Amino acid sequence: MAYNDLREFIRDLEQRGLLKRIQTEVDCDLEITEITDRVSKMTGEKNVALLFENVKGHTMPVLMNAFGSMERMALALGAEKLDDIAEDIAEIFRLPHISLQNKLDLLKLIPKAKSAINFPKYVKTGPCKEVIIKDAPTLEAFPILQCWPDDAGKFITLPLVFTKNPRNGKRNVGMYRMQVFDGQTTGMHWHIHKNGAENFRAHQELGKDRIEVAVAIGADPVLTYCATAPLPKDIDEMVFAGFLRKKAVELVKCETVDLEVPAHAEIILEGYVLLDELRREGPFGDHTGYYSLADEYPVFHITCITHRKNPIYPATIVGKPPMEDCYMAKATERIFLPVLKSQMPEIVDINLPLAGVFHNCAMISIKKSFPQHAKKVMHAVWGMGQMMFTKMVIVVDEHVNVQDEQEVWWRVFNNIDARRDIVMVDGPLDVLDHSSPMPNWGTKVGIDATKTWPSEGYSREWPDEIVMSQEVKERVDAKWKELNLE
């Protein structure tokens, strides 16, 4: 089920017992972070979304940890489980490979492919325009969080940042933190590898003096996820959102900039970024579990604020995993697995461990077909979009469950010969990586933990794994209840 807006999502979470309302007064400076951090690391029913309804000095409630479990992440995307979405994508990718002789499958898939494309619907107005502030707009009314003690200030942490490519008019929606400098200006922390930064540079190359920007806060949860999704360049996030929602996203024209934004968002910030203005931004407690360092970034100037009556302010915090952003990354892992398989059919499964914070580790199982196949996969992964940032790629055989990290490490610790099976290469790294000697690039490692073949130079006998016979397992299964060992 797709939600029309954030409020429908909140109601559904509450009805399912997955959200807790907090009436105790809390401070948006550090206190909300500490409470949310503790809850996000709880297990089972204690890990819930939080709606803080009594925020010191503010009238707006703050929504936290809404995406902070696999169950809530699937609900946010309108699915019972994330693999259901992956299966829909997989069927679309099957379409070009179907033989014309198999007309029945072809006829079934063509309507599905057509129905999957839901272009945005442009409307004249929407709830996001219930209140319009053009005269001296200010951020002071919003309960923006100071997340961690050494942060440079308050940060908007869950923004959908809309820009356009000036050459072709194509829209981009990304999620970039925004440090609040004052009531009318924030930082715009778009990394050099991101499409928002590309649009910024394209405006510079054309000799323009500014780039128009709009920021949506509190959209339908599918839209929030799509702003984080690693889509190919120039693929419209709002079209992808239409695919996930199975219906079109309603967009409305901004008041002061030539951009369209989600009509059902809670809050819209409109403005511009000057192309020759930089300001010190950061430090900020980041998803790596460390503070990202201060640096020079562009500045966003607000020209207009619109919002719903009695808006809800959603935010997120990042830090040592597991946290809410980890589950958004796991959604990407499952949803984009069919895309990865379309490029590398030998891949069976992939796991991006929570402790690897998205880009530091990928565990991949493959159907090994030729010598050095694992190394081929490593290099292919490093050449694919945002996978280029992966610091460690571990490759195992197809029968290995990569979702069981202990099993993967057991094979790494037992199967590899360091000289033969470890590959080290230089290449791009995530901007937030603090360990490399140079910003934005460094050394990455690949580990081939597959069974080594004679054709790969292994002349010794490879031992069999210890596995109990199926007949004995079944005999013990029949006696298990009688043994009373649970």
Indicate whether 101 pLDDT > 70: no
In this structure, are residues 453 and 374 in contact, taking their beta carbons and an 8 Å threshold? no
Q: What is the pLDDT of residue 97?
A: 43
Element (H, E) at 351: strand 347-351
Asked if 286 is an active-site residue, the reply is yes
Spatial separation of the C-alpha atoms in residues 374 and 397, rounded to whole Å: 9
What pLDDT score was predicted for residue 108?
53
3-state secondary structure of 215: strand
Pick the CATH number of 82-314 from 2.30.110.10, 2.40.10.330, 3.40.350.10, 3.10.450.50: 2.30.110.10
User: Is the bond into 283 cis (omega within 30 degrees of 0)?
Assistant: yes
Looking at residue 93, its pLDDT comes to: 56
Q: Distance (Å, rounded) from C-alpha 486 to C-alpha 484?
A: 6
Could you tell me the two tokens for 229? 């999704």
pLDDT value at 484 more than 80: yes
Cross-strand partners of 172: 163
How far apart CA 446 and CA 380 sit, in angstroms, is 11
Residue corresponding to tokens 């429908």: 8
Residues 6 or more apart from 144 whose CB is under 8 A from it?
28, 154, 155, 156, 180, 313, 315
If you average pLDDT over every residue of the chain, what do you get?
91
Q: CATH for 344-456?
A: 3.40.1670.10
Q: For 164-183, what is the mean pLDDT?
A: 95
Predicted confidence band of residue 356 (pLDDT cuts 50, 70, 90):
confident
pLDDT tens digits, 107-166: 454 455 555 678 899 999 999 999 999 999 999 999 999 999 999 999 999 999 999 999
Edge-first strand listing for the sheet containing 62-64: 19-22, 49-52, 62-64, 313-314
Q: Which residues pair with 392 in a beta bridge?
A: 445
Q: Which of 185-194, 215-224, 229-238, 430-439 has the highest mean predicted lDDT (pLDDT)?
A: 215-224
What are the structural domain ranges in the chain? 82-314, 344-456
Active-site entry in 37, 151, 286, 325: 286
* Cα–Cα distance for residue pair 18/435, rounded to 1 Å: 38
- 150 CB-near residues (< 8 Å, 6+ apart): 283, 285, 291
The arithmetic mean of pLDDT across residues 174-186, rounded, is: 97
What is the Cα–Cα distance from 439 to 433, expressed in whole angstroms?
A: 8
What is the identity of the amino acid at 199?
N
Q: How does pLDDT run across 108-117, given as a tens digit for each residue?
A: 544 555 556 7
Domains 82-314 and 344-456 share a fold: no
How much is the pTM? 0.88
The three-point CA angle 430-435-440 to 5° equals: 30
